[in-house]
Structure 1
Amino acid sequence: MLSIGFAEPLISETSAEGDVFWLWKLLGRLHPLAVHLPVTLLCLAALLEVVTLRKYHSTLRPGINLLVVLGAIGAVISAVLGWMLAGQEDYGGDTLDMHRWTGVATAVLGVVATLFLYAVEKKSRWNLITVYRSVLIFSAIGVTAAGHYGASLTHGEVYLASVIPWSEDYEGEPNISSNINLASLKNGGALDHEQQVALNVQVRSIFAHSCYKCHSSDKIKGELRLDNKEMVFKGGESGAILVPGDPDNSEIVRRINLPRSHKESMPGKGKALSKEEIELITFWIKEGAPWPDSSKTIFRVAEMKPRMPALPPATNKLRNPVDLWVNSYFEEHKIAWPAVVDDRTYLRRIFLDITGLLPTPEELTAFSQDTRPDKRAIWVRQLLNRDNAYAMHWLTFWNDALRNDYTGTGYITNGRFDISEWLYKSLEENKPYNQLVKELLSPTEESQGFIKGIQWRGVVNSSQSIEMQAAQNVSQVLLGLNLKCASCHDSFISDWKLADAYAFANIFADSTLEINRCDVPTGAMADTRILWEELGDIDEAASVKEKLKQLADNLVKPEDGRLYRTLVNRIWAQLMGRGIVAPVDAMDNVPWSQDLLDWMASDFVANGYDMKELIYLIATSKAYQLPSVGVDDINDINAQDFKFTGMLRRRMTAEQFADAVSSTIYQVYPDSALRYNPYEKIASYKAKVPFVRASLVENDVFLTALGRPNRENVTTGRDTQANLLQALELTNGEKLNEVLRRGAENLVTNVRDNDVIIRRVYQKALGREPRPEEFAVARQALGASPDTAAVQDFLWAVVLLPEFQLIY
């Protein structure tokens, strides 16, 4: 909870019993509720000031002024309530002091910003605009800092750091499914061996995710280690932490039950343990802290070997193998098959998923008039045969994953190499995936950019060396494995060790790497091996070129089921909105259908590693043709209890949206498309459409706002949720507004008929005629005769419709 508060009570009146008067307690505890007002308002006001930096008197000015005044008032109120709260609760220490003074600063700066704003607005002191804006931005920074310290008070000091992947306090994505039922165990008498093992595994998983960051081989705070049986029972510098059979006299039980604000509360970093976790540890100690000798890992590890399960029998209505597996899944979970989507929805879906473009009105008409019973499969094949359009679209997906771009960090200093031409040609000719992987790992000059990574300027962390970048990127993209934690220390979220990461990175090194733990040299030298020894050996005495060839040959073996499961899962996620395993970079997680994943991966190998055939298999399935499904909470997407009922509804990517607007507006007016400067090396390969595809262009404010990453890190999935930056760009962005203005000018000049304009735009943007009520509203908005401003607003309204922006 964000909060802004102070160390002493504002009012010291007490009741007869000596306690703080109940009203002051009540008011103090309203502080967390009140604090969100200044946090939101001041930050939003500062953001809008930045957006309108060149135009003080914008249409947003009245709203900004109101936000500043209300934010300042809220900051003062929140500070007062925080003062009242701090003296009544068990808060104290340096974090509270920092929280207090940043809260004071925020309240003061908010008031000062309001006074400067008053001087600008009421006294025409225009020379104070810069001062006012500077003070407002500092107040926004202050309220953010105060919120951080407030969150640290209630959630722990690493509340934010624990969810940042490159932070040493990163908690990761634990995947421990408990099979412990405490209620039944407590009443079930003595535990048998299997129950003891299961209970111990669950306790160790809690230690791994919540305690290892301070108490493992990487960091031994207070001389206590919790990653080893002998060390756990030995205890730390203060003695034993547990008494088997006696939780009431066990130090660890006392500490995990202390309030988070207490200096001895454990865990000292990250989230507090849940009530269930505390009960589990307490019960474990009460049962004698059983720790049977067992090699069982506390993390799930997916099978490496490929597996081809026997297909369920075909039915009268289901022939596609994907549907046979989904049907088995539906039967198991008692899910009825919904009816498939209509022709217009399906055609738009496959056009966007295969080529990244909208179908033209003529194509929609031809599809609707096609009477062949297998027309959907025929049209999927036709789209896949549009090699140029297919390559242009899937270039975006692979650019993200292989962190390939046209400008950015490293390109100016020649510390980074692009693979654009090689990648485009590979997609256009539908290069088999095993060959594509071999050329990435044992590269030519054209394809070396992926494993070369980024040569950062200046001194960098040892976990970001070129060799370690290669190890991290290859493991993430090709094997669905997060090796970032293990690149700095033994991982808290898997069984991978620091030595494993360095051994894998050594394959990419021209000299033996010294192992660094948390950026501190250990003196130990790394050996050279693949993460999974069953995939083969690497000759550590060989040259880098030879080691890379050995790595490529070993990883693409048909026996490497993980490589092909990872690819199949990524393509499924791209078409369906969520992988069979989620997240797609955590292939050790439980798939919602192991049989489907295994069968598709084996079939992919059997069919010559053909990515187009894989897309064809999915896109022609009934499962792909089901109505799209929305989610209320984005966290539900990666939940382990996810149930598949159809593709997830998602927003167009930045590139799809730009191309959709370009195609819509271009066909209205050729010079009004969203034009960019194409990347020179592949400009000759641009799609046979009259505008430059967005996948070829350098990143800019427009694409960034719509979700295109900077590609300095691997990106294997984009956020499909709308956000404030996107809303601001779509409502007030110069690029989109200019495109729509020019398109509107041409319509007004050349069409001169509002009815024709309405029908044409609906046909091209949405693939249908306007409904009567839509037509009536549009005619009313456009007026009696065409007007540029009105037509521009009409175009803007259409491209902002969910029907335009979403893939249903």
Structure 2
Amino acid sequence: MALSQNAELLSDFWLSQFLGRLHPMLVHFPIALLVFAAFLELHTLKNFHQPLRKAIGLLVTFGVLSAVISAIFGLLLATNEATSGSTLDIHKFLGFGSAVFGIFLLFFSKNAIEKGDSRSIRTYRAFLFLTSIGVGFAGHFGASLTHGEDYLTEVLPGNSETSAPPSLTIDLATFSSEISPDQEIQLVTNVRSVFAHNCYKCHSGAKIEGELRLDEKEFVFAGGESGPILEPGNPEKSELIRRISLSKNHKDVMPEKGNLLSKDEIRLLTLWVEKGAPWPDGVEQQSVYRVAALAPRKPELPTPKSGLQNPIDLWVNQYFEENQLSWGEQIDERTFIRRAYLDIIGLLPSPEDLKALEGDSRPNKRSILIQSLLERKDDYTQHWLTFWNDALRNDYTGTGYITKGRYAITDWLYTSIRENKPYDQFVKELLNPDEKSKGFIEGIRWRGTVNASQRTEMQAAQNVGQVILGLNLKCASCHDSFISDWKLEESYAFANIFADTTLEVSRCEKPTGVMAKTEILWEELGEIDSLAPKAEKLRQLSEQLVQPANGRMYRTIVNRVWKQLMGRGIVEPVDEMDNEPWSQDLLDWLAVDFVENGYDLKRLVYQITTSRIYQTQVIKVASPDQLLGENFKFQGVIQRRITAEQFADAVGKIAAPLFDSVEVKFRPYELIPEARPNLSYTRASLVANNEFLKALGRPNREIVSTSRDSQASLLQALELSNGEKLNKALAKGGEKWAEAYSNPEEFTGQIYQNAFLRKPNSKELELAKKTFGAKAEPDEIQDFLWAIFLSPEFQLIY
């Protein structure tokens, strides 16, 4: 109480208000000063002690001080103006985070100048670049608060206010003074779509704020705690129209959370009220969400084209022609072999591998190479083990293993991947498991009391839905979903298949007294005997879910593999298979072809990687958001960052192993004698999770993880700059290379060949000579390796 009173007094004090309003002016100082300091620092990479050092120090000092002052004034501004919202929260987090980083930056700057060793200099530079990036992003979100979230993007092509949002499927200009019954249905269907996408989170059966519900006709017209929200025929007197038309910082604006309605959406609702708010009977039964077909479909292949033998390329070519897009250039042998090795077995190719490919005169040599990689059973398995461990939340240590509330499936999983078990059989053994494969549907038995939506039976329903069916049941595990048509009762009916006894339905964690039915999510797939014991229910589920009639299951897996190899799914996100694919024909054809050819995952990998489109130049995107946009156009393979495991394996090959024997939790040769590794180091996929792997993106695997962020993060930058594990490997690598080669020019060439499959160019070689002199010391080679491993050429699959 006292705290809130003090805040109120502070907000009423004129000086506090005045200082707060200086924030927008002050915030430009740290952005300009620190970014300019970082720019100057790039010119000192070869020699830290340069005349620029004093100027950089002054810029850093004043930049950090202004960042701290700006953060304080910003807090005053937010308090005085009573601003709130997620954008402000992000702005505050980045602003205060950058200020804190800046304080550390001052310390490390002084430390680097005094000590002058490579480690302290690297630490200082890491904090300088991270602080500069932080204040830049803080400024971006500050601009979004001031000018709107679309301040930058609204001027880009395709973002004009005349383009209708995804929730609108009608042209408002076609509605005259008198509208037909069909137009009434079209109008209210689009109105319900706007409500569903913007309002259901707070105003539906799942959550009711202000006693207002917008998910059913009777509730819309009944209004909320303040009375009716609309007056049919009179939008000017309708509270709904008034609120959605307010500016974003107004206390009455709706939606108060998230993005405001677009101009087209506001026009739609206004037109609907103006026309008398028609709502014909029967509209409630129509889904406002896109629902993908369940049944398989195999469209006829496009007409063959010269030079396009792979069916995938025929579909891609048809898509390109329809969208007026051009084929990218084919990649050279060096780029191809590196991409194929990393994508199929997760390892870097050797210079000898490249030389062999370049010397091969056979016209189908790339297809032969891909087949040879797929035949390297254990290399293939140890790479794809990471993919499946993430998806099936299988790990070697973690929550539940100590208390026996969780079971690993590693032995079964490794053998299944290595044998290339048909995918239908793979899924059947997950759903109707033996002791070795039961860990997936058994989930995690958390200690203590858990929410009803997290009991193991519901975990099984959620995880099977997400991984195998590309379906999100998490919202519908607590209440009726407001992002799809799935209902709470349907989730419980599916979860009941995995239960020993009949489950009682709980809505928002409160028992309802209603006992769940026992049903598959789609009645077309058959029935489950609700009176049968659990083992029999699982057997029935395993048989019915994998039948070819379940086209959704096979679209889901081909979409996942496509994303793994191409960087973006045909449908995105890959767990939302009701979303629009960029090519429905390609997705449908691939899924049926997969079924007709024995559910063969290796064949699917071969089919994709031997396509012409896989072997074109990468497409670079500035932000992952571009891959999720409604206006996404497929043009080819998306440039990706290598995974934590791929990075660790590459460092182990070129420098020294990162992991010791204690961290190895799974040894394949104990299961399969011929799986004994032929490498001098242990693959990262086989070791327990640790701070290094987590920093580089490996999830903790207590929840399903079907995608990893390919963007660099602050945590990654810190780990790669100052992490102990990488530093030790680099130190050993420096000693190894110093011992093997006395001539700096020779070992420079060898390192470039191993890391990049190319010789250093004249500029790179000249720089190495200047850096090392006549003989390189191990610590100098260590720094050189660090620079190699942090370069984009090493970290990206291009």
Q: Bin the TM-score by the shorter chain.
A: 0.7 to 0.9
| CA distance, structure 1, for counterparts of residue 658 and residue 719 of structure 2 | 18
Residue 467 of structure 1: aligned partner: 457
- Aligned to 2:207, what secondary structure does the other structure show? coil
Contact 1:39 1:71 in 2 (8 A): no
Aligned to 1:250: 238
Residue 469 of structure 2 corresponds to 479
Q: 2:377 aligns with which of 387, 400, 407?
A: 387
Q: Is 1:8 matched up with 2:12?
A: yes
Equivalent residue for 1:785?
A: 775
Aligned to 1:706: 696
Deviations 1:764-805 (A, max 9, x none): 111121122211111221111121111111111112221111
User: Residue type of the partner of 1:31?
Assistant: H
The match for 2:338 is 348
User: How far off is 1:553 after superposition?
Assistant: 0.5
User: Secondary structure at the residue paired with 1:624?
Assistant: helix
C-alpha distance 680-234 of structure 1, shift in aligned 2 (>3 A): closer
- Is the contact between residue 504 and residue 515 of structure 2 (CA under 8 Å) also seen in structure 1? yes
Give the secondary structure class of the aligned counterpart of 2:506. strand
Q: Does 1:432 align with 2:422?
A: yes
> Could you tell me how far apart the structure 1 residues matched to 2:33 and 2:566 are?
37
Contact kept? 1:662, 1:674, Cα under 8 Å: no
Q: Is the 8 A contact 1:200 1:291 kept in 2?
A: yes
Tell me the equivalent position of 1:610: 600
**8 A Cα contact 1:154 1:261, kept in partner:** no
Q: What is the aligned counterpart of 1:499 among 469, 482, 489?
A: 489
Summarize the Cα distance change of 1:189–1:561 in structure 2 as closer, same or farther, 3 Å threshold: same
Residue correspondence of structure 1 range 675-690 to structure 2 within 5 A: 677-680=663-666, 682=668, 684=670, 685-690=675-680
More displaced 10-residue stretch of structure 1: 70-79 or 281-290: 70-79
Secondary structure, counterpart of 1:637 in structure 2: helix
- 1:132-155 CA distances to partner (integer Å, 9 max, x unpaired)? xxxxxxxx9xx99xx9xx99x979
Contact 1:346/1:625, CA 8 A, preserved across alignment: yes
Q: How does 1:35-46 map to 2 (within 5 A)?
A: none
Q: State which drifts further: 443-452 or 65-74.
A: 65-74
Q: How far has the Cα of 1:597 moved from its partner?
A: 0.4
Task: State the Cα distance separating 1:722 from its structure 2 match.
Answer: 0.9
Q: Determine if contact 1:481/1:586 at 8 Å carries over to the other structure.
A: yes
- The one-letter amino acid paired with 1:717 is S
Q: 1-side partners of 2:566 and 2:325: how far apart?
A: 18
Q: What residue in structure 1 maps to residue 620 of structure 2?
A: 630
Q: What is the CA-CA distance between 1:507 and the residue it aligns to?
A: 0.7
Provide the residue aligned with 1:691 in structure 2.
Answer: 681
292-301 vs 595-604, which moves further = 292-301
Seq. identity, %: 52
Q: Structure 1 residues 370 and 776 mapped into 2: Cα distance closer, same or farther (>3 Å)?
A: same
Asked whether the 8 Å contact 1:351–1:358 carries over to 2, the reply is yes
Structure 1 residue 78 displacement after superposition: 4.8
Instruction: Give 2:206's aligned residue.
Output: 218
SS of equivalent to 2:750 = helix
SS in 2 for 1:396: helix
Deviation by residue 1:270-325 (Cα, 9 ceiling, x = unmatched) = 44333333232122111211223333210000000000111112222111000010
Distance 1:489 1:38 in 2: 46
3-state SS of the aligned residue for 1:516? strand
Q: 1:559-708 to 2 correspondence within 5 Å?
A: 559-666=549-656, 677-680=663-666, 682=668, 684=670, 685-708=675-698
Distance in 2, matches of 1:672 and 1:217, equals 52
Q: Is the 8 A contact 1:442 1:549 kept in 2?
A: yes
Residue 323 of structure 2 corresponds to residue 329 of structure 1: no
- Whether 2:193 is the aligned partner of 1:205: answer yes
RMSD: 3.7
1:235 aligned to which of 195, 218, 223: 223
CA contact (8 A) 1:322 1:596 kept: yes
Instruction: Identify if the C-alpha distance between structure 1 residues 540 and 357 changes in structure 2 by more than 3 Å, giving closer, same or farther.
Output: same
Identify the residue that residue 180 of structure 2 maps to in structure 1: 192
Within 1, Cα distance between the matches of 2:329 and 2:85? 57
Identify which of 356, 372, 389 aligns with 1:366.
356
Q: Deviations over 1:33-84 (max 9, x none)?
A: 6569899999xxxxxxxxxxxxxxxxx9x99999898656544455446657
Asked whether the 8 Å contact 2:206–2:481 carries over to 1, the reply is: no
Q: Distance in 1 between matches of 2:550 and 2:201?
A: 32
Partner of 1:288: 276
- Alpha-carbon distance between aligned partners in 1 of 2:496 and 2:658, rounded to the nearest angstrom: 52
Partner SS state of residue 445, structure 1: coil
**What is the Cα deviation at residue 240 of structure 1?**
2.0
* One-letter amino acid of the counterpart of residue 225, structure 1: R
User: Separation in 1 of the partners of 2:269 and 2:437?
Assistant: 51
Task: Decide whether aligned partners of structure 1 residues 65 and 489 sit closer, same or farther in structure 2, where only a CA change above 3 A counts.
Answer: farther
Shift of 1:212: 2.1
Which of 26, 31, 40 is 2:23 aligned to?
31
What amino acid is the match of 2:615?
A: Q
Structure 1: stretches of 5+ with no match in the other structure:
13-23, 43-59, 122-139, 156-173
User: 1:745 maps to what in 2?
Assistant: 735
- In 2, Cα distance between the equivalents of 1:489 and 1:725? 35
Q: Give the 3 Å change call, closer, same or farther, for CA 220–774 of structure 1 in structure 2.
A: closer
The aligned runs of 1:533-548 (5 Å cut-off) are: 533-548=523-538
Aligned runs of 1:716-795 on 2, under 5 Å?
716-795=706-785
Q: Distance in 2 between matches of 1:335 and 1:553?
A: 43
Report which stretch shifted further, 418-427 or 209-218. Answer: 209-218
* Amino acid aligned to 1:246: N
Aligned equivalents of 2:236, 2:737: Cα separation in 1:
80
Q: How far did residue 371 of structure 1 move?
A: 0.3
Give the 3 Å change call, closer, same or farther, for CA 672–287 of structure 1 in structure 2.
closer
Q: Normalization by structure 1: what TM-score?
A: 0.82
Separation (CA, whole Å) in 2 of partners of 1:724 and 1:730: 10
1:86 shift after superposition: 6.1
What is the CA–CA distance in structure 2 between the aligned matches of 1:396 and 1:309, rounded to whole Å?
33
C-alpha separation in 2, matches of 1:64 and 1:386? 54
Higher mean Cα deviation, 615-624 or 279-288?
Answer: 279-288
SS at match of 2:614: coil
Are the structure 2 counterparts of residues 675 and 716 from structure 1 closer, same or farther at C-alpha, using a change threshold of 3 Å?
A: same
SS at structure 1 position matched to 2:14: coil
Structure-2 change in CA distance of 1:272 and 1:331 (3 Å): closer
SS in structure 2 opposite 1:521? strand
Compared with structure 1, are the counterparts of its residues 471 and 85 closer, same or farther at alpha carbon in structure 2 (3 Å cutoff)? closer
Q: CA deviation at 1:269?
A: 4.1
Amino acid at match of 1:232: V
With the length of structure 2 as denominator, give the TM-score of the two structures.
Answer: 0.83
Q: Report the CA distance between 1:511 and its aligned residue.
A: 1.0
CA distance in 1, matches of 2:308, 2:440: 41
How far is the alpha carbon of 1:556 from its aligned partner? Answer: 0.3
Whether contact under 8 Å (1:748, 1:786) holds in the other structure is yes
Partners of 1:341 and 1:625 within 8 A in 2: yes
Q: Is the 8 A contact 1:360 1:764 kept in 2?
A: yes
Match of 1:515 in 2: 505
Which SS does the other structure have where 2:613 is aligned?
Answer: coil
Partners in 1 of 2:607 and 2:433 — Cα distance? 30
Distance 1:225 1:772, change over 3 A: same
Tell me whether 493-502 or 254-263 shows the greater mean CA deviation: 254-263
Q: How many Å separate the matches in 2 of 1:770 and 1:211?
A: 58
- Of residues 250, 255, 261, the one that matches 1:273 is 261
Check 1:68–1:438 CA distance in 2 against 1; reply closer, same or farther (3 A cut). farther
TM-aligned CA distance change 1:468 to 1:222, over 3 Å: same
CA distance in 1 between partners of 2:636 and 2:85 (Å) = 47
What corresponds to 1:804 in structure 2? 794
- What displacement does 1:404 show? 0.5
| Residues 516/578 of structure 1: CA separation in 2 closer, same or farther (3 Å cut) | same
Partner of 1:550: 540
